[in-house]
Amino acid sequence: MNNNDIPIYKNPDFPIDERVEDLLNRMTLEEKISQMLYYSSAIGRLDIKEYNWWNECLHGVARAGIATVFPQAIGMAATFNPDRIYEVASVIGDEARAKYNEFQRQEDRSMYKGLTFWTPNINIFRDPRWGRGQETYGEDPYLTGRMGVSFIKGLQGDHPEYLKAAACAKHFAVHSGPEEERHEFNAVVSVKDMRETYLPAFRDAVKEARVEAVMGAYNRVNGEPCCGSKTLMQDILRGEWGFEGYYVSDCGAIRDFHENHKITDSPEESAALAVNMGCDLNCGMVYEYLKDAAKKGLVSEEAIDRSVRRLLKTRFKLGMFDPEDRVPFNKIPYDVNDCEEHRQLALQVARESMVLLKNKDSFLPLDKDEIKSIAVIGPVADNRSVLLGNYYGTPSKYVTILEGIRQAVNKDTRVYYTEGCVLGDVQQSHWGNPARTGFSEALSMAERSDLVIMCIGLTPEFEGEEGYAANSDGGGDKLDLSLPGLQRELLETISMTGKPIVLVLTSGSPVDLCWAEENENVRAILEAWYPGEEGGTAVADILFGNHNPAGRLPVTFVRSLDQLPPFRDYSMKNRTYRYMESEPLYPFGYGLSYTKFKYSNLNVSKKELFTEDDEDIFVSVEVENIGGLAGDEVIQLYIKDLEASVRVPIWQLNGVKRIHLKPGEKAKVEFILKKRQFALIDEKGECLLEPGKFRIFVGGQQPDKRSQELTGQEVLYEDIEYKGQVVELEY
C-alpha cells in the first residue's frame, strides 16, 4: 500500500490540521461526544484506541507505579532555580514516555497511563491556610511564572513536530481555597488584582511556554464558573492570549454548575454551557448528556466539533496516530524510569530546596567527629509520607530523615530515636495511657545525647486537597498555623533539658515558628518541605555540612493569622510580601547559608528612558563568596515603582539567578529588564507604563527590614526614570 491509499488522518506526511479535519469528518455525533470524556472510548472502525486523559506528574510521574519522586512543588520553588526545574521536568517527561511505551506494549490504557498530564499547578499561594498551596510554586507571580514555564517546556520537550508529553496549567483561575467550599464558592476579585496577581503565571504558560492544556477551577470568579466563564475562557484565554490547546474541567466541576453553583437547572444545560464557552474535555460524566443537549438545541454540532478538533490535535501531536518508529520519544526505553541518575537528581533538588531559617552562632554544620550521641526525636523522623507530599508516585527506595542521619554519622556514634508523640491525635488510647506517654522516653534520650534533632511538622494527612487530607479539620485546609497535636509541647519539654536542638520541619506551607525562633536552645531550624525519595539524605547532607543550604522561601511565614485578612477574602490587600503591611517572622525570598556573599558594583545600563521607546535595561552586579565554604547564592532583583498613580506592590521580584561560588570566587551576574516589567495595572485592569522614578534592588534577599535583620546584610539599589507620556502595553 502506498501513501496515496492511506486515509489522510493516518498519513504523517500531511499537515496536522488536515489530518485532524479528515478524521473529524469521518466521525458520528455520538463518536465525537465519546472523545470529550476523560475516559475516551475506542472507535474500532477508525482505529482510534481507548484513551484515558487523566494523568498527574506534579513532582514525578504519579499514581502509575514506580517512578522517581522529586521534592513537592513548593520545595522545588524554594530552589529559586528555573533551570533546575526544567531539568526535573525533562526527566519526568522521559519517565512518562518510558512508562507509556511499556503500558502500550502491555495494552494497558487505564487511568494514569497516558501522556496528558494535568500539571503544573500555577495558582498563587495567597494564604498559608490553603491545603493545596504545597502543589504550587508559592505566592509570587513572577517566580510562579518562571517555574511554570520551565516545567512546561521540560515536560513537553522541544521537538518541532511532536510533544514528549502534554502539560496542563491549572486551576484557571483565581483559585486557592477554601477547599471545603470549592464546589460552591464565588471568588470575588477586582480586575486589578486578577491581572496583577492571579493571571500572570497563566499568561506566561500560554504565551511563552505554549502549554498544551489549561484546566478550569471548581469555583466561580465574580459569578461565572471557571469552566463556563466567558470572561476567563473566551475573552482572556483564547481571545486575548490566543490559546489554541484544549481546555479541561476539574474533576466534577461541570456537575457543580447545577448541583452547587445553581447557575443551570440540569446536566444538559451544564454540559452545553461548558462546551459553548470552550471547555473541550470533561473530567467527570456530564458530557454524557451532550447528545440530549444537542437534541434540545442547547449546543450545536459545530461547537462540539470545535472541542473534538482540539482534543484530536493534542493526540496527533503526541504521535498517537503515527507509525511507532516515526515518533522519536517512542524510543525512550523503560530502563530510564527510576534509574540511578534520576535518583541523584532528586537528591540534588532536595538539597537545593531546603531553607535554613535559623542558625544561632553558626551552630550548623555539625562536626560528626565531635558527636558521640544524637537523639532524633519526633513523629516525622521516620515517616515516609512526609517525603511524598500529595500527587506522588512510588519510589523504589525511601530515605527517611532518621535513615539519612544514621547513614551520615560515624559508625560509633549512638543514634537514639523515638517519636516522642503521635502526629495529631491528642486523645487517650484505649488502654487509658495519655498521649504524652512518649515524652518520658524522649527526655531520657535527650538527656543522654550531645544534641537533639527534633523532626516535627505537618504531613499530607493534615494539609492537601479536599477529601485527601484525612486529618484536616478544614477539609484539606488548616484552621490555624499551629503544629498538630502535642508537637509544640514536646519541643518545649525537650528544650528544658538545655541540650542544643536542631529543628527539622516538614511541611507544604508555613507554620507557627515564633517560639522556636525566639528560644535559645533551638539553635537551628531547617525547612525541609516534603523533600522526595532522597529527602533524608538531603537533610543529613545539610546538617553535617556535605551541602551548603541556599534555598529561599517562596512564601511568607507570618507571625500569626492576625496579620492576614479572612481566608475567603480574595483581595490582595495585606497579602503576600508584595502587599503585606506588618512584619513577618520569615520573609519571602529569605534563607541562610553557611558562607557569606558580598555584592558590589551594581550597574544599570541606562538611568533615563522614554516610555515610547522599546529599550531594554541591562543590570549587572558582582557577587563574591567571602566566607570559608563553597556554596550557592540566589541573586534576586526587585523593582519598586516610586511614583505610581494607583496602589501597586511595595516591590516585586523581577529577576532571579542561582550561582555556585567557591571561597574567594567572584562572578558577574546580569539581568535584562523589559519595559513591560516597569508597567502597572490600573483599576480598570489596563497595563500602563507611566513616566516616573523606579528603584531597582539587587541582593540575596528582599530589600525589607526583617530580611536585613535576619541576615545582617543589605541589598544594593539604583534609581532610574522613565520620561514621556503614559503608554498602554500589551498585557
Among all residues, which ones are annotated catalytic? Answer: 250, 463
Which H or E element spans position 601?
strand 597-604
How many helices (H) and strands (E) the chain has is answered by 20, 25
The cell for 189 is 476579585
Q: How far apart are CA 286 and CA 278, in angstroms?
A: 15
In terms of Cβ atoms closer than 10 Å to its own Cβ (0-12, 13-18, 19+), residue 331 is exposed
What residues pair up with 526 in beta bridges, in sequence order? Answer: 356, 504
Q: What string of DSSP letters covers 272-324? A: HHHHHHT--BBSSSGGGGHHHHHHTTSS-HHHHHHHHHHHHHHHHHTTTTS-G
3-state DSSP call for residue 642?
A: coil
Q: What is the DSSP secondary structure assignment for residue 238, as one 8-state letter?
A: I
Q: Is 455 helix (H, G, I), strand (E, B) or coil?
A: strand
Residue 431 has a CB neighbour count (10 Å cut-off) of 6
Whether residue 59 contacts residue 532, with contact meaning beta carbons closer than 8 Å, is answered with yes
Could you tell me the CA-to-CA distances from 37 to 53, 308, 512, 576, 698 in Å, in that order?
8, 10, 43, 38, 49
Report the first-to-last Cα separation within the chain, whole angstroms.
51
DSSP string, 644-656: -SS---S-EEEEE
**Dist. CA 33–CA 289, nearest whole Å:** 9
Adjacent-strand bridge partners of 717 = 697
Which amino acid makes up residue 81? N
